Amino acid sequence: MAKARISPLGLDIRIKPDSSPAPAPKLRPCAVEGCREEGAYRVPKSRENLSAYLLLCLAHAREHNEKWDYFAGMSEAEIEHFRTEAVVGHRPTWPLGKRAAGFSFGRTGTRVEDGYAVFAEDDAGAQPRRPVRILSQLQRQAFDVLNLESSATLNEIKARYKELVKRFHPDANGGDRGAEERLKQVIKAYGVLRASGLT
């Protein structure tokens, strides 16, 4: 018989180990008193501690599951509360906006040094700075058609576009050709701004 080579983990690493049969694993008995079957199936002991379980044979596990009622002994209010909590996986939740709502400077009395005037809008009511853009001739013409400054914000561009489309739409002008031509210019100008990523 070949001498066993044992690895540092205590395993037999021979290419052809002995053909002696491996020892049979020990069977866990069924938790029901007097049952000699193997306890291969886990069932919870109680609803208060679902991680604690019993090992039962198949027949006793079926019997247990048929009788198991998670809500036994609970009132209607407790069952309804459980159902409501189950929607969020029984985790704590907060109403939207409530967790951060108290962090404004005025409510909490918290003072933050703001050397770079990041929060100057909140403190002094100052208007946000307009974006400075370097525009092509086509983009400048588009702003002129929409009658906007080149520093207009995204929301101002969209609002003016919607306003002009309503104003110059043929249905609002009785089919006037001049209004239809102006509408085409507005749509083209907005398309230029969209293509350049300004909207």
* b (16+ CB within 10 A) / e for 139-151: beebbebbebebe
Q: For residue range 72-126, list pLDDT tens digits in order.
A: 888 999 989 888 888 888 787 777 665 554 445 455 556 666 667 776 655 455 5
**What pLDDT, on the 0 to 100 scale, is given for residue 123?**
46
Domain end among 75, 91, 107: 91
Number of domains, the chain: 2
| CB-based burial label for 185 (10 Å; 0-12, 13-18, 19+) | middle
Residue 103 falls inside a structural domain? no
Cα–chain center distance at 64: 38
Residues 88, 193: Cα–Cα separation, whole Å:
44
Q: What is the DSSP letter of 148?
A: -
- CATH code (residue 174): 1.10.287.110
What is the rounded average pLDDT for all residues in the chain? 78
Residue 4 belongs to some domain of the structure: no
Local structure of residue 55 (DSSP, 8 states): E
Q: Is the residue at 34 inside a domain? A: yes
| Residue-range definition of the domain harbouring residue 50 | 28-91
Q: How many Å apart are CA 79 and CA 185, to the nearest integer?
A: 64
Q: pLDDT category, 139, cuts 50, 70, 90?
A: confident
In a domain, 11, yes or no: no
Q: Which two tokens stand for residue 6?
A: 């044992």
Q: Is 153 domain-assigned? A: yes
